[in-house]
Amino acid sequence: MSRSKHAVELCALLVDETYGELTSRIFTILLRRGRLPITLLAQHTRLSPRQLRHGLVVLLQQNLLFYHTDTDSGVTHYEANHDAAYALIRSGKILNIVEERFGEQSRDVVQNLLLLGHTKVADLTAAYEAQKPTSNGHSNGHSATNGVSYTNGDHVNGVHDSQVHSTGQLHAILHQLLEAGFIEPVNQIMFTSPTDLYNKVEKELLPAGGTKGIKQKEELRLAIEGRMQALRDQRPDWRPKGNNKRPHNGDGPNGTIKRRRLSNGAVNGNSQYLDESIRLDSELVLRINYEKCNVALRSQSLVSLANQRIGETTSYVYAEVLRLIEPYIPRCRIESEKDSNLFEKANVSTAELSAVISSSVNVALGIGKASKDKIDTKMLEQASGRKRKANEAEVDSDGDASSDESESDEEMVGAGDGEDPFADGQKRKPGQAKVTFQDKPEDRQSRMLQLRNHLMLLAADDRNLLSKCGGGGQGQWTVDFNTLVKHLREIELDNLILENFGRQGHRLARILRKFGKLDEKQLPQHALMKQKDVRTKMVEMQMAGFVDIQEVPRDNNRATSRTIFLWFFDMDRVTAIVLDNIYKAMSRCLQRLEVEKRQANDIITAAERSDVRGKEEEVLSANQMNQLREIRGKEEKLLAQVARLDDLIGIFRDF
Amino acid sequence: MSDLPPGDDNRGGGKDRFPSGKDDGYSPGARLPSWMHAIKAQHINDESNTIVNDVHRAFVEGYTPGHGGQKVKDWMADAEWRPSLYPANFTAQNPAGMTSQRATPREQFDPASGGEPPHLDIPRHTTCYGRINKKRSGAKFQDHRSSSADMSRGGRGGARGGGVKGQTWDFDAEFKGDFTPSEKFPAYKVPIPAPVTEKERKEIKHYKDLQDQIHQGPLYTQPSKRDPNAPAKTYSEDQFNERYGVKSKADVDPFTGVPTYTQKYEQKKRVIPELSGRPFNKEFFPKELWDTLEGEEGDDVKAHINRIAKKKALMLSGQRTDLDPSEKAKALLEKIQNVAEEGDEDAEPGEEEAEEEDYDYEEDEDEMGGDYDGEQYFDGGENDEDDGDGGNGGDDY
C-alpha cells in the first residue's frame, strides 16, 4: 500500500531522528521504491553492501522492515513497514501509559524493549543483570534470598524506584505486560508483509479450477482474510506451563487489575504484589505491540471526551470501564468476523466494576444533588420522559433491564441528571447553595448505586459513551467504539473547519453533513445566509477540498442553466485530506526542529559531552545554560505540537 | 444626440451623449435623454438601495442626510472604495447630472417662471451649480475618477468591477488608478498553541529520554551530510544521495579542526552501526544477513588485512628483492583465490575491503608501524588502499 508523499516524508524523518542517517537513507528508498532486493537497494542508495547490510540489520531489529525470501531464487526482498515507522513518534505516549498503569519499573522494561527492538527474554535478563552492579551497586544486589517484595517495597520510596531489582521481578513485569497485551511474542509472520501473506494464503486456499463470479471471489477473499488473521494470532504460547496461578481478569480477589490505579495513589506499591515465582521461557522473543497500545491510547482520548462532556469523576469511572473491556479488544479496527465475535464479549457489569474500581475514586462526587423544592419537576419529567424513550430505543430491552431502567431513571431524576445545570456543578464548589453533595459514609450498596448513576450519565450522553447490553450483575455495559470514534472524528473535523472557515463555513459544512447532497439554491435557505455569501464560502471550502460540487444536467445538452449543482461533504475524503495535511504539518515541525538544533549545534554538542552530561548546571556557564534552556524549550514546544497532531492522526486513522 | 438604449449606458461612453465635453449654455438636465429619466426613477424607487435613496432625497430636499443611525458621510467614505455599492447609473452620473435632472421638472412647473424655457435658463443654471459646489465640498461623493474636470464623462462605469479598482475597458486619458501595491506582509494573527500540559511534558520527556538512549547506543549512525544547510528538497535520487557521503578532509571546519583536549569527551561519530557485542535472534533475519550479524564478514576482512600487513612487514624486512616476478604472480593468484573462497558472494569485494580497512584503520596502522614509506610507495599495487582514505571522519584526529 503506497502512502502519500507527506506520509513518506514523515516516516523517513522519524527514522532519521531515531536511528540515524544510514538507516533513514535505506528506509527512504524503500518507501519510495517499494520492495527491493539488496542489489537494487545498493544501486539506489549508492551505499556499499557492507553499510547496507548493517543498516538493514538495524531496521529489521527494530521491526521497521518486512522481508520475503523467494523459495525458488533465494532472493530476499525488503519492504518498509510504515506503521512501525510512524509508531516511533508514539513511544513517549506509550511509555507514559505504561508508567501510569504499571509503574515505573514496567516503564523501564518497555523502554528497554523499545531501545533494543525485538529481544529474547534471556538477553533482556542478561542486560539487566549486567546493569545491576553498576547502577544499583549500593542497594541490596542479591535480593532474591529473603523478602524480595519487601526489599522492593523499600526501594519504591527511594531514589531507585525505576530500577528492576531481580530477575524474578523482571519476569513478573514481563508477564504482566504480556497479559495486558502491551508486549507480544514475536513470530516469523510478523516479518512478512501483509501483501505477501495474502498471496501466500491465497495460493494455499485457491481452489484448483480458480474462482468464478463475484460471489466466489468474495468468499475466497473472506476465507483468506480469516486465515491471515488466524496466522497472525498464532503466537508462540508464552504462558508458563503448569503455572496457572494467574487469576482471570478482575475475577479473583487479588487480580492485578484491582490494583491498577487511576489517579496518583499508590502506583508505586504495585511491585510489592507481583508474583515473583513466574518464570517465562527464556527463549521467548518479545517486542512492543503497537496495535494494543493504540487501544489504550483510544481509551485515553475517550476518557478525555467524557471528562469534557460530563465531568471528572465520571470520566474516572469511564476509564475503569474501558480498562475492563480492553482485554477483549486486540486492536482498534475490528475487521474480520472472528474479531467481531470477540467483541461481543467485551462488556462489563456494574458489579464487576464496583469490585474493581479504586477506592481513591470517590464516586459520590461529580453528580450534584438538589433538594426537592429547588427542582422544577415538570421540566424534569418531560426531560426524563424524552430520555427514557431514547434509551429504550437503543437498549436491548429484556424485561429485567427495562425495569432497571425506569427505576434508575427515577433515581437519576432525584440526583439531577444530564443536561440540567446540576451536573455541571462540580465537586469543587461545595459552597453553592442550590446544590448539595452527598457526603454520607458510603456503604457498599450506596457506592454501587452512585456508580450506576455515573454509568447512567455516560449512557445518557448524546455521544453514547456507553450502552447497556444486559441486566446481569446490576446491568451489563458495553462501548460501541465505532460510533464513538466517528463522533470523535466529527468533533475534531468541526473544530478544524471552525478554525479555518469561521462560523459560517462551519455551519454550511454541518448542514451538508446532515442533509447529504444539497442544491445550491437550498443552501442559503438552510443556512440563513445570502446567496452571495454562501457561494463565496463554499468556493473557499471547495478550494481547500472540504466540500465539492456535483453537476447533474437536466437534459442532454448540459447547459448551465439547466443543470442542478449539488454541494456535498464527503467525510472520508475530507478525512484523507486532513490526514495528509497533518502529516505535512508534522514533518514541517520535525524539520523545523532539525534546523533549530543545527543552529544551536555548539551548545548541544557541549551539553552532550561525556564530562558535561548530567551536570550541565555545574559545568556550563550562565550564558550557555540560557542557550541550552532556550533550545530545549523550543524542542519541547515543537514536540508537543507534533504530539498533538499525532492525537489527531490517532483519531482520524488508527482508532 | 442619439437616444441610446438603456442597456448600453455603461459601455456607450458619455462622450456620445455629451459630445462637447463642456455643457456651455446647456443645462445637463434639460439635455438628458428621455430614457435616462426612466433609469433614474427606477433606480431611486428601488427600495433596497435605501441609502442611495436617502442621500438623494436629502440632497434634493435640502436637509442633512442621515440614514438609520449610520452617518451618510461614513457610508460614503466606506462606499468610495466599494464601487459595487453604488448602482451603476448613480455613480456614473455625477451629482450634477442627477440633481439637475430631478430639479428640472420642479422648476419647470414653477408658476413664477411661467414655463418659458429660455427664461428659465439662467436661474436654473445657477441653482444647479450652486448645488453642485455644495455637494462637492460636502463630501467626497464621486468616484475618484470622476473628480477630473471632465464632468460630461462623469466617472462612468464605476460600478463595473474591473482589474484595477473598478476600472472599465473604456479609454480614459486622465485615468489615475490606484496602483499602490497590496501589502506584502499583511497583518496575520498568529495562532498560539495552548501551553504544554503536565501530561504532555511527561510524554515528551519519555520520548526524549528514549531518543537519547538510542542515540547513545551502538545502532545509531551520525549524520554525515556534506552541507547541512542545503535545501531539504531534492528532486532526484542522485541529488538525494549526493547530499550524503563520507566527509573528506576538504570539508573539515578550520575552527574545530584543530584537536583540542575536550574533544575527547565528545561523542564519537559513527557512520556504521556497531553490531558486535549484541545478541541477535538470527531466526528472524534473512539468511543473507547472518554473516553480518555474527560479524563474520568483519572477521574475514580483518583476516585479510592481517595477511596484507604480514606481507608488508615481510617485504619491509628486506625479502622484497628475493621475490621474483613469478613468485609475485603466484602470491597474487593465491590471494585472489583466498578472497574468492572467504569473501561471500559479494559483487564488489574491493569496495568492501576499502570500507573495512578504513574501519579498522588504527589497528592496522599499529601493526604496520607507520603508513608512509617512501621506498614502498609504488609497490604492491593491490595494497594501495591501505592508506585509509580518511573516510572515518571523526576518528582520524
Nearest CA in chain A to B351: A48
CA dist B152 → A262, A595, B124 (Å): 83, 63, 18
| Chain A closest-CA separation from residue B241 CA (Å) | 6
Lowest model confidence (mean pLDDT) among A303-312, A348-357, A554-563: A348-357
Query: What residue type is assigned to position A63 of the chain?
Result: N
Q: Which residues of A372-407 are buried (b: 16+ CB within 10 A; e: fewer)?
A: eeebeeeebeebbeebbeebeeebebeeebbebbee
Q: Which three cell numbers stand for residue A602?
A: 555548539
- The pLDDT, as a whole number, for residue B308 is 82
**B205 touching A (Cβ < 8 Å):** yes
Chain B, nearest residue to A15 by Cα: B220
Nearest to A67 among B201, B286, B347 (CB): B286
> How far is residue B30 from each of residues B9, B22, B132, measured CA to CA in Å?
18, 14, 16
A 10 A CB-CB count for A367 gives 27
Query: Which of A60, A76, A609 lies at the smallest CB-CB distance from B266?
Result: A609
* Tens-digit pLDDT profile for residues A43-67: 888 888 888 999 999 999 998 999 9
Contact B139, B73 (CB under 8 A): yes
Chain B hits for A45, Cβ within 8 Å:
241
- Do A226 and A220 form a contact (C-beta atoms < 8 A)? no
Residue A150 CB neighbour total at 10 angstroms: 11
Across the interface, of A188, A637, A641, the residue whose CB is closest to B284 is A188
| Residue B248 grid coordinates | 573528506
* Facing residue for B241 by CB, picked from A46, A111, A591: A46
pLDDT value at A480 more than 90: no
B-proximal residues of A, 602-641, CB under 8 Å? 605, 608-612, 635-637, 639-641
Residue B272 touches chain A, beta carbons under 8 Å: yes
How many whole angstroms separate alpha carbon B120 and alpha carbon B122? Answer: 6
Task: State the count of interchain CB pairs (< 8 A) between A and B.
Answer: 172
**Is the distance from CB of A257 to CB of B256 less than 8 angstroms?**
no
A120: nearest CB among B208, B281, B287: B281
For residue B190, the model assigns a pLDDT of 84
Positive or negative, the CA dihedral B383, B384, B388, B389 is negative
**Helical residues (DSSP H) of A357-480, grouped into ranges:** 377-394, 399-415, 444-460
Q: Does A390 touch chain B (CB under 8 A)?
A: no
Buried b (16+ CB within 10 A) or exposed e, A101-137: bbbbbbbbbbbbbbbbbbbbbebbbebbeeebeeebe
Distance to chain B for A13, nearest Cα, Å:
11
Contact present, A288 and A179 (Cβ < 8 Å): no
Confidence of residue A651 (pLDDT cuts 50, 70, 90): very high
Query: How big is chain A, counted in residues?
Result: 655
Rounded Cα distance between B341 and B333, Å, is 12
Are residues A199 and A306 in contact, defined by beta-carbon separation less than 8 angstroms? no
Contacts of A118 in chain B (CB under 8 A): 281, 284
pLDDT at residue B166, rounded to an integer: 53
Nearest CA in chain B to A18: B211
A114-123, A275-284, B214-223: range with lowest mean pLDDT: A275-284
User: What is the distance of C-alpha A381 from the center of its chain?
Assistant: 39
Residues whose CB is less than 8 angstroms from the CB of residue A39 and which lie 6 or more positions away in sequence, other chains included: B347
CA A175/CA A164 separation, integer angstroms: 14
A323 close contact with B: CB closer than 8 A: no
pLDDT of residue A518 exceeding 60:
yes
Of A143-147, A236-240, A533-537, the range with the lowest mean pLDDT is A143-147
**Cell numbers standing for residue A347:** 462488556
Residues in B 237-256 with any Cβ partner in A closer than 8 A = 237, 240-241, 244
- Partners of A111 on chain B (C-beta within 8 Å) are 206, 209-210, 213
Among A124, A639, A646, which would you mutate to test the B interface (most chain B Cβ atoms within 10 Å of its Cβ)? A639
Spatial separation of the C-alpha atoms in residues A514 and A522, rounded to whole Å: 13
Q: Domain ranges in chain A? A: 5-80, 89-135+161-294, 305-334+346-479, 485-569, 574-654
Query: Above 0.90 for ipTM, yes or no?
Result: no
Give tens-digit pLDDT for B378-394.
554 444 444 444 444 44
Fold equal for A5-80 and A485-569: yes
* Tally of CB atoms within 10 A around B16: 11
User: Per-residue pLDDT tens for A397-442?
Assistant: 333 333 333 333 334 433 433 333 443 434 444 444 444 454 445 5
pLDDT tens string B317-365: 765 545 566 777 777 777 777 766 554 444 444 443 444 444 444 444 4
Q: Please report the DSSP string for B75-110 in residue order.
A: HHHHHHT-GGGS-HHHHHS-HHHHHHHHHHHHHHT-
Selection from A423, A426, A425, A410 nearest residue A377 by Cα: A410
A485-569: which CATH number, 3.40.50.300, 1.10.10.10, 3.40.50.720, 3.90.600.10? Answer: 1.10.10.10
A118 in reach of chain B (CB within 8 A): yes
Domain ranges, ordered by start, for chain B: 6-147, 198-265, 290-372+380-396
Fold for domain A5-80? Arc Repressor Mutant, subunit A (1.10.10)
Interface test with B, best of A14, A50, A613 (most B CBs within 10 A): A50
- In this complex, is the C-beta atom of A25 within 8 Å of any C-beta atom belonging to chain B? yes
Could you report the per-residue pLDDT of B133-142, keeping only the tens digit for each? 333 333 333 3
Beta-strand ranges (E) seen in A431-562 are 435-436, 467-470, 476-478, 518-519, 548-553
Q: What is the DSSP letter of A476?
A: E
